[in-house]
Amino acid sequence: MPPTAETFTNLLEQAWQVMISDPKLAAQWIQQAEALPEAEAELGQCQVQFHRGWCSIFSGDHLGALRALTRALTQAERLGNDAEIMRICNGIGMAYYNLGQYGEAMHHYERSLQLNQQAEDVNGTFAALQNLAMLYFDVEDVDKAEELVNEAIGIDSTQVTQENLGEAALLQARLHSRQSRFEDALLGCRTALSYANELGYDHLEIQALIAVARCQRLQHRFVEAETTLEVIIDHPEFNKEGVSGLNAYIELAKIQASGGRYSKAVHTLRKGLRQTNLPDFSLIQQRALETLATCLERARKFRAATLVLRLALDIERKLQKQDVHRQLELRRFRAEMDTERLNREITDHQNRLLKDARSRLQLINDLARQLASSLDLNEIGQKLYAIVRDRLDVHFMSLAINRERVKAIEFVVIFDDGQREPNYCIPYEVENSRAVRAIVGRETILLDNAREEPDRILVGSSALQPLSQLYLPLVHNQQVIGMVSLQSAIPKRFNHDELEWLSSLAPFLAITLSNALSHQRLFELNSALTHEKTQIEAAQERIAYMAHHDTLTGLPNRRLLADFIDQKVLSRTTNDEGFYLVYIDLDGFKPVNDRYGHKVGDEVLTILGQRLRESLRKSDFAARVGGDEFIIVIEGFANPATLDAFIRRTLAVIEKPIGLRKDTIAVSASIGVALYDKDGKDLDTLMHRADQAMYEIKRSGKGGIAYAGKKP
């Protein structure tokens, strides 16, 4: 529905109300507001950019949101409007959070929290604490997340919106569920549902019901969980959940699979994946495909499972590529914002200096150009020393950087009577240092006769006594980034005019210093990007390896086995002898898991995998295709007796007792053998024939070898 009145404020308020449900309509109303006269003022521009940023968040364009919200923050900071700053910081934090930049997100959430606390804005403080808690929850710091949620819940809830209270109750329920405190989790879900029903907030209701079903499933209350999930999927607003709604189908499929209803689970997941409002790919879709592949495999539909796994792997690769692309875009965006901010600050400085006298302005500009022509700190220091030595008759000059994070001042350039002195640092704790007073106190310190107030911290090696001393902090973007100090052997050396042009030169020197530091950081960032690219390539190699190998034993998996068989079939000639597919299924392995636990069972499988790898020839191939199922592919056995002896040696290797901890574990195996061409011409057929032979052995008594088409 259209806004009640086409005023600037009403248009933005109405856009805010529909932003979650219909961001496209909200964007149209924001565009209408931007055309009104109020949008020309700086505050109006700030508010338009703020709403446009949040609209981009709800549309999924998080990088676009960053662009708009960063411009809004710059305008709000210029206006000194803390009320706008704290809600803009919250939006910037949300954009960074969705881009996976948790450090930046935390910085802006914490700034929003601090401003809300200073303004005693209870609802804003609650929202900032909740956002921080969600961030810590996503990075697996459950204790910190719970601490923040409890702090938020301890706030006077009468001043908090019901929407925020409902979201907090749901987050608290998820925390309890993660800690297996299911009764507390269900209580939190009921609280969230109460708020959702009162507000008519369908998204909160659906997500709370999914959390309820998950708790019920983890408590093995499968019938109740299945009923809850069917209610969710039949919810009239469920289709609007998009990709997050897939969680309901995944939970339902897990319940069905736990009861052995694999075909039903497959049907459920396929139904979920056929929703029309899903994106091209997402992490939740990858999870759904992996769950579907598992169900298909349990239903013994191995070919279909393989195809689905390939789709899941394709999504994983696309997600990785998308993440790298977003990171690069984010870095370009930051560089653009830094350049835009620097240009704006330079323009602001130039506009202020237009009010000064023409002659002094020309002098300052000339000096500023000399300094700005370099991005090297040493060269900047040398030029500055040449300027002040010629014009002010000083023998000492130092240029320092404010290292606020380590609470110290680093003197990067020092000249004393024409000689370059070694660099050094002064910590903030040195209270009698004038340099510390100048930077920490953001004050210019001038001494006309240092004999009256001697400084116990002396720097330099010349014999000249510093009588006149000046400590000038360099402020850029409201931050003290450094300091320049001058000393002369002449008392009262710095007169009013000299102090005035030094003060006018200081902002340009601050910008020059900031540019040099930014250039230094950019160099470091490029080095980091090169390193990151190397890591990404290594990670891709690891992913490719993991996609074709069993993570427990390191043996090839079924996918690589299929590729090996396909290649072997393609490369065969008419004169080649057939190769054998040997299907190995361990006997009595389940009691090992039941008695010693799955950790010991995994160690047994790892040892058996290593034994198989070491006992085979270089031309042989071994793979793990299931829990306790292995496949080996061998050839070069024209004599059946030689083949049988080789396989029996392999069986003996498997059945050799394993010493683990204080126990000795022994397992046997049933082995089925199929011959290529005679028993089948593809992997599925060969495995089926070998599997049939192996089960003949199992029926006739555990342990032994059977050949396809022959009685054991």
pLDDT tens for 581-630 read 999 999 888 888 888 888 999 999 999 999 999 999 998 999 999 889 99
Q: What is the pLDDT of residue 236?
A: 82
pLDDT of 4 higher than 50? no
Q: What is the pLDDT of residue 358?
A: 47
Taking the C-alpha atoms of residue 620 and residue 462, their distance in angstroms, rounded to an integer, is: 80
- The secondary element (H helix, E strand) that includes residue 475 is strand 468-476
* DSSP letters spanning 263-302: HHHHHHHHHHHT-TT--S--HHHHHHHHHHHHHHHHTT-H
Q: What is the pLDDT of residue 629?
A: 93
pLDDT of 401 higher than 60? yes
The single-letter DSSP state of residue 627 is S
Q: What is the pLDDT of residue 179?
A: 85
pLDDT digits (tens, 9 = 90+) for 258-293: 888 888 888 888 888 887 666 676 777 888 888 888
pLDDT digits (tens, 9 = 90+) for 154-213: 888 788 888 888 888 888 888 888 888 889 888 988 988 888 888 777 888 888 888 888
Spatial neighbors of 143 by CB under 8 A, at least 6 apart, are none
Q: Per the structure block, which two tokens stand in for 338? A: 């830094």
Q: What angle do CA 144, 149, 152 make, to 5 degrees?
A: 130
Q: Are 462 and 417 in contact (CB under 8 A)?
A: yes
Task: State how far Cα 147 lies from the chain centre.
Answer: 22
Taking the C-alpha atoms of residue 260 and residue 328, their distance in angstroms, rounded to an integer, is: 46
pLDDT digits (tens, 9 = 90+) for 449-495: 766 565 555 555 555 677 788 888 888 888 888 888 888 888 877 77
Q: What is the pLDDT of residue 15?
A: 86
pLDDT digits (tens, 9 = 90+) for 112-122: 888 888 888 88
Give the model's confidence band at 5: pLDDT under 50 very low, under 70 low, under 90 confident, else very high.
very low
Count other C-beta atoms under 10 Å from residue 532's C-beta: 14
Taking the C-alpha atoms of residue 506 and residue 120, their distance in angstroms, rounded to an integer, is: 37
Taking the C-alpha atoms of residue 401 and residue 513, their distance in angstroms, rounded to an integer, is: 9
The single-letter DSSP state of residue 485 is E
pLDDT of 698 higher than 60? yes
pLDDT of 357 higher than 70? no
Nearest-10 Cα torsion for 145, 150, 153, 154: -140
Looking at residues 637-645, what average pLDDT do you find?
A: 90
Q: What is the pLDDT of residue 350?
A: 61
Q: Average pLDDT over the chain, rounded to whole?
A: 82
pLDDT of 378 higher than 90? no
Nearest-10 Cα torsion for 584, 588, 591, 593: -20
The single-letter DSSP state of residue 585 is E
pTM of the model: 0.44
Taking the C-alpha atoms of residue 611 and residue 623, their distance in angstroms, rounded to an integer, is: 12
Taking the C-alpha atoms of residue 261 and residue 255, their distance in angstroms, rounded to an integer, is: 9
Taking the C-alpha atoms of residue 559 and residue 561, their distance in angstroms, rounded to an integer, is: 5
Continuous H helices in 60-141: 62-79, 82-98, 102-118, 122-138
Q: Per the structure block, which two tokens stand in for 146? A: 């719970």
pLDDT digits (tens, 9 = 90+) for 650-660: 999 998 998 88
Taking the C-alpha atoms of residue 24 and residue 52, their distance in angstroms, rounded to an integer, is: 11
Q: What does residue 526 show for φ and ψ, rounded to 5 degrees? A: -60, -40
Residue 680: strand, helix, or coil: strand
Taking the C-alpha atoms of residue 235 and residue 241, their distance in angstroms, rounded to an integer, is: 11
Q: What is the pLDDT of residue 345?
A: 64
Looking at residues 224-233, what average pLDDT do you find?
A: 86
Single-letter amino acid code for the residue at 493: R
Least confident of 321-335, 423-437, 506-520: 321-335
Nearest-10 Cα torsion for 272, 274, 277, 283: 60
Give the model's confidence band at 96: pLDDT under 50 very low, under 70 low, under 90 confident, else very high.
confident
Q: Are 303 and 684 in contact (CB under 8 A)?
A: yes
pLDDT digits (tens, 9 = 90+) for 297-356: 888 888 988 888 898 888 788 767 766 766 666 576 566 666 766 766 666 666 555 544
Q: Are 134 and 173 in contact (CB under 8 A)?
A: no
The single-letter DSSP state of residue 578 is P
Residue 376: strand, helix, or coil: coil
The closest alpha carbon to 631, from 694, 578, 572, belongs to 694
Count other C-beta atoms under 10 Å from residue 453's C-beta: 10
How, if at all, do strands 668-675 and 704-707 pair?
Answer: parallel
Q: What is the pLDDT of residue 185?
A: 87
**Which domains are delineated in the chain?**
120-236 (1.25.40.10), 239-315 (no CATH), 352-523 (3.30.450.40), 558-707 (3.30.70.270)
Looking at residues 50-68, what average pLDDT do you find?
A: 85
Q: Could you tell me what percent of the chain has a pLDDT over 90?
A: 12
